[in-house]
Structure 1
């Protein structure tokens, strides 16, 4: 059993939680500002990001990836489609299923959003070195496995 209740360890863990919060705020600040210019929010970015990484995926696959309900996805996805950023087509093997891809405008916006984050990560990784980058990846993978 991990000792998370000693005063020293508890303080270290609270400090780690705060660092995670502040790091995430820094990681999302520029994309959030770009999205806000268009009246969009962070979920819109996540949709654009994962549709860009897996063009042609079904809506059901995107739901699973994002870990949100159909109701939570419906509004933002509909907005992205109405703005001409995401395209929806029937699945060739199952006409009931809908597949997603980015339009040229959607791909341009997603690239702009992700570029800010790639540059941020590249700069931090370069400053901290490969060993620190690998340790960070291991911590993030460990966190991701908890879902």
Structure 2
């Protein structure tokens, strides 16, 4: 197998970047990139008996301690039933805890336990390594362009929710 350099692997978008084959190339890169990125953490998740849905919940709870179940439901865009199963498993395994809301006691606020923080930090460390390497290889201008493309995929109705994650975090 030959080693393909980054410059020959992705020569750059042609001036006709909206043609079908250019769009398909972008879709393929998103699929393959995401798969390889998440493969980096699948082994650790499997050791814990967890899957990617559990990881996404851990990630967003880590980003926003005291996130409500309703807010997490919107972020993950999954069914209430699916989220309920994921949260129950995480709570049963002592990765998260739920607390009553301060204003509305019926609300469930989600927080990582020490064990949950440790797992989330390890998973993030692995993802950070993969992304950092790709970012360094691509360069700052490319990273900014990549972010702009991904931001363009976020529906206007979700933009505030997604962009609020960045506040005081970056």
- Equivalent position SS for 2:105: coil
Residues 1-147 of structure 1: matches in 2 within 5 Å?
9-145=19-155
Give, in angstroms, the shift of residue 109 of structure 1: 0.2
**CA–CA distance in structure 2, aligned partners of residues 19 and 55 of structure 1:** 32
Deviation string, structure 1 residues 99-145 (Cα, Å, up to 9, x no partner): 00000000000001111111111111111111111111111111123
- Equivalent position SS for 2:19: helix
**Equivalent residues, number:** 141
- Equivalent position SS for 1:64: helix
**CA–CA distance in structure 2, aligned partners of residues 110 and 88 of structure 1:** 17
Deviation string, structure 1 residues 64-84 (Cα, Å, up to 9, x no partner): 111112111011110000000
- Where structure 2 has 5 or more consecutive residues not aligned to the other structure, the ranges are 1-15, 159-170
Deviation string, structure 1 residues 28-53 (Cα, Å, up to 9, x no partner): 00112210111110000000000000
Partner of 2:5: none
Structure 1 segments (4+ residues) deviating >6 Å: none
With normalisation by structure 1, the TM-score equals 0.90
**CA–CA distance in structure 2, aligned partners of residues 140 and 89 of structure 1:** 34
- Where structure 1 has 5 or more consecutive residues not aligned to the other structure, the ranges are 1-5
